[in-house]
Amino acid sequence: MTTSRRKLIAGNWKMNGLKASLAEALAVAEALERQPCTERVAICPPATLIAPMAQVLQGSQVQVGGQNCYTQPMGAFTGEISAEMLADAGASLVILAHSERRQFFGETDESAAEKVRAALRAGLEPIVCVGETLDERRAGRTLEIVARQVRGSCPPELRGCVFAVAYEPVWAIGTGLTPTLEEIEQVHGAIRGLLAESLAEAGRTAPILYGGSVKPSNARDILAASEVGGALVGGASLKADDFLGIIRAAA
Ligand code: 13P
């Protein structure tokens, strides 16, 4: 099985976590050391914790990722962090264009594509997020919106690269609501078609993660759905026990 065919279970801590929270990441790593899993596991903490988390998790099965990066490698861009800086701090992945970035920080498909190029330049594996709002779903526009986001946010440079796409319906994030398995399979199938069409082999094999209210209790069914190549987990990744429950459900 190639790296890209293994499921990827990634935790997005969002703007949560202080130094004391490193204990949760360490608990995940230690549990996986005692009982290894075949999936890939990553935690994406706030930028302040990337370096110390990478240190704590060194030699473990758990990779560390960023939640965003700027397009330029360095320079006079106060407050921004480059992909190169994330890599230097110990990250090997980066979440890009999360719906909260799109919603609160004006990110677009164009800026997402630029950031994907920046991530690749720095040797990071991008996790590109897409997903419709509740209004868009109610209007029957889910596939149209997701297709536009995939086309606009996944540039041709991804051909030949290791990357992931995360389908996260905005209305499912932090709400406890999830689409039906059929709805997830429909969107993931559509994303696979688009990626395969535009990105050749890389597009055929990139894992398509599902995100939005994934918990230990629903993870098994979701992760077994067709074209679901992993999960991007918010709230339930903050506690080692919950995150481990999801990781174990992937097996
Ligand atoms: P929740 O798992 O808290 O719904 O968040 C999902 C998410 O946004 C992960 O990026």
Q: Which of 43, 213, 218 to mutate to test the pocket of ligand 1 (most atoms within 8 A of CB)?
A: 213
Q: Which CATH number fits domain 8-249: 3.40.1190.20, 3.40.50.1820, 2.30.30.700, 3.20.20.70?
A: 3.20.20.70
The maximal CA–CA distance of the chain, rounded, in angstroms, is: 48
As a whole number of angstroms, the distance between CA 225 and CA 181 comes to 7
Q: Whose CA is nearest to atom 2 of ligand 1?
A: 234
CA dihedral 202, 228, 235, 125 (to 10 degrees): -10
How many angstroms is it from 230 CA to the middle of ligand 1? 13
Is residue 205 in contact with ligand 1, taking CB distance under 6 Å?
no
Using CB atoms within 10 Å of the CB of residue 34, give its burial: 0 to 12 exposed, 13 to 18 middle, 19+ buried.
Answer: exposed
3-class SS at 162?
Answer: coil
Question: To test ligand 1's pocket by mutation, which of 67, 173, 218 has the most ligand atoms within 8 angstroms of CB?
Answer: 173
Task: Enumerate the active-site residues.
Answer: 98, 168
Kindly list the domain boundaries of the chain, sorted by start residue: 8-249
C-alpha 75 – ligand 1 centre gap (Å): 32
**Residue 224 backbone dihedrals phi, psi, to 5 degrees:** -90, -10
Residue 251: per-residue pLDDT: 84
Beta bridge pairs of residue 66: 94
Contact 102 CB / ligand 1 (< 6 Å): no
What is the whole-number distance in angstroms between the Cα of residue 234 and the centre of ligand 1? 3
Angle at Cα 67 formed by Cα 41 and Cα 236, nearest 5°? 50
How high is the pLDDT of residue 3? Answer: 45
**Nearest atom, ligand 1, residue 213 CA:** 4
Q: How far apart are CA 197 and CA 167, in angstroms?
A: 18
Pocket perturbation via mutation, ligand 1, pick of 178, 184, 214 by most ligand atoms within 8 A of CB: 214
Pairing of strands 208-211, 8-12: unpaired
**Tokens 């994406």, residue located:** 44
Tell me how far the alpha carbon of residue 17 lies from the centroid of ligand 1, in angstroms. Answer: 15
Give, for all 251 residues of the chain, the pLDDT tens digit: 344 479 999 999 999 999 999 999 999 999 999 999 999 999 999 999 999 999 999 999 999 999 999 999 999 999 999 999 999 999 999 999 999 999 999 999 999 999 999 999 999 999 999 999 999 999 999 999 999 999 999 999 999 999 999 999 999 999 999 999 999 999 999 999 999 999 999 999 999 999 999 999 999 999 999 999 999 999 999 999 999 999 999 98
